[in-house]
Amino acid sequence: MPVDPWTTEWVVRRALRAVALVVFGIGACQNHDASPDANSAATPINVASVVSGCKDLDDCNRKCTEQNPNACVSAGHSYEFGHGVAVDTPRAFQLYEQACAWKYPTGCYNAAVLLEAGKGVVKDPARARQLYAQVCASGSKTACDHAGKLNEGNTSSL
């Protein structure tokens, strides 16, 4: 059975393109200077702030007061982990709780994590279990697992 010349030609062209991309791609990677430009900022990108659309922590705090729960969580993350500010887990908890009050699952989940660990707040497994269950109801398997683990040590219902 004869081979269709267009199919063979197409395969050869695609193979040559792939080889060229690999060869030139490797060369480009080897010639790339990974050191930061003298004019570039040395601070890492705070992904949480970028996702929420905040320019900085003050902007996240302002947007949080305007009932933007994503900004509350981003600001809480900065306070919890000390990104651009001293670590302040009680403040982080307040921000997470505020986002949770606006039915934002990430705020509820983060507040539950702090409550479960007693990090910056009084340890409260029962409240953590309630928050995990709330997030579980929105579809988070991880939150369901945490709620279940906390429930194992307690026979009361969620």
Q: Do 146 and 132 form a contact (C-beta atoms < 8 A)? A: yes
Round to whole Å and give the CA distance between 30 and 16: 21
Q: How far is CA 12 from the centre of its chain?
A: 43
Nearest to 96 by CA among 76, 80, 119, 81: 76
pTM (2 decimals)? 0.67
Residue-level pLDDT at 17:
54
- Classified as helix, coil or strand, 36 is coil
Q: Is 104 left (phi over 0), alpha (psi -120 to 50) or beta?
A: beta
pLDDT tens profile 100-139: 999 999 999 999 999 999 999 999 999 999 999 999 999 9
Domains of the chain: 47-152 (1.25.40.10)
**pLDDT: which is higher, 9 or 158:** 9
Question: To which H or E segment does residue 25 belong?
Answer: helix 5-31
